[in-house]
Amino acid sequence: MGSEQQQSMAAPTTPRGQHLLDELLAEADIRINGDRPWDMRLHRRGALDEIVARQSLGLGETYTRGDWDVPALDQFFHRLLRTDLTSHIRSWRNGLRILRSYLVNRQSRGRAFEVGERHYDLGNDFYKAMLDSRLTYSCGYWKDAGNLEDAQAAKLDLICRKLGLQPGMRLLDIGCGWGSLVSFAAEHYGVECVGVTVSKEQSAYIEANFGHLPITVYLQDYRNLDQRFDRIASVGMFEHVGHRNHRTFMQVAKRCLRPDGLLLLHTIGKNQRHSATDPWIEKYIFPNGELPSAGQIGDAADSLLVCEDLHNFGSDYDKTLMAWHHNFEKHWERFAGQYGQRFYRMWRYYLLSCAGAFRARHIQLWQWLLSDRRPGGVVRVS
């Protein structure tokens, strides 16, 4: 933990009277100025009004400014999201944001590279410090794993086994990140791989580190794909597609998939079809991001592809995020001068709030296995 953060956490709390938020947070067993790890330590009383008025956006922005602290943010959000507090303070803004998502294509071709520039291009050294050795920036598979490195290797192998990869096959990875899946598949399963990314940093990293493997990487929008492949995977990218483009994604996958081929779609998902993207996450972490619901994915694949298997291991994302946060804190001093204290609080909030959300089962992690009416189906792999 950074020294400024330690000083902020130790700062005296603000004296005040009773507030609406006291009553609301009490339903989640959270006290303002309490002494438990998940209790809020308030440093500016006006932050409470801002949180009530602006909800998630106000909560995140007041934390980033240092208006309040919680020693264990993951526990705070676990309790907060297990209790439906938003039903007590619903805002017309959420209705407008949901309406906007249906009227505006926020994931258009013109905006496709924005998330790469603002999030994934922060710097490879930063992600090397936070992630595993393969820079796998998606949920690990902790079934038989005791650490992040093993969990990520298990997840990559699980994907390869579900796809039934064999030497000589061609694998397409839509949203290939820093090449964790394509490098693993090429090394361990002898397949030829093509990766697509909208991040210049990721593309350059793959070209610099995996030139000895049969891997080609394209810096382009997935909608421009027109090659054919035996297998297709998309791991942690579908969250950037947007519901207006879900059908297009499935059409591209079907166009690129050879007969008897398989598509594995690994994505975070939401529990409700008609719900807005968290405004703080969208504004500060993943611009134009939008989690799909199971129904929306089913609609997108309808009459195009058949769901052969659906696997939910969302609780594993809690462990993954906590491991990333541990690494982030451990190595923060290396990056403090470059990124600053505001970035530190923003990323601490991002990692721990998401860990709490998965722990509360507020959001899920799915692996969909789809085919073009594969004869005989598939044998389930776990």
- DSSP per residue, 21-60: HHHHHHTTT--BT-SSTTSBEES-THHHHHHHHHHHHHHH
Strand, coil or helix: what is 379? coil
Which residue is listed with tokens 């909800």? Answer: 55
Residue 229 phi/psi, 5° resolution? -140, 155
Of 139, 193, 256, 354, catalytic: 354
List alpha helices for the chain, DSSP H: 3-10, 20-26, 46-65, 73-82, 92-103, 114-115, 124-130, 148-163, 180-189, 200-209, 246-256, 279-284, 294-301, 315-359
Tokens of 162: 């579900």
Distance CA(370)–CA(378), nearest Å, equals 10
Residues 6+ positions from 11 with CB-CB distance below 8 Å: 41, 43, 69
> CB burial class (10 A; 0-12, 13-18, 19+) of residue 9?
middle
Contact 372, 305 (CB under 8 A): yes
Catalytic (active site) residue 354:
yes
Residues 6+ positions from 155 with CB-CB distance below 8 Å: 136, 138, 139, 140, 141
Please name which of 331, 341, 326 lies closest in space to residue 126, comparing C-alpha atoms: 331
Tokens of 286: 């993943």
Catalytic residues: 354
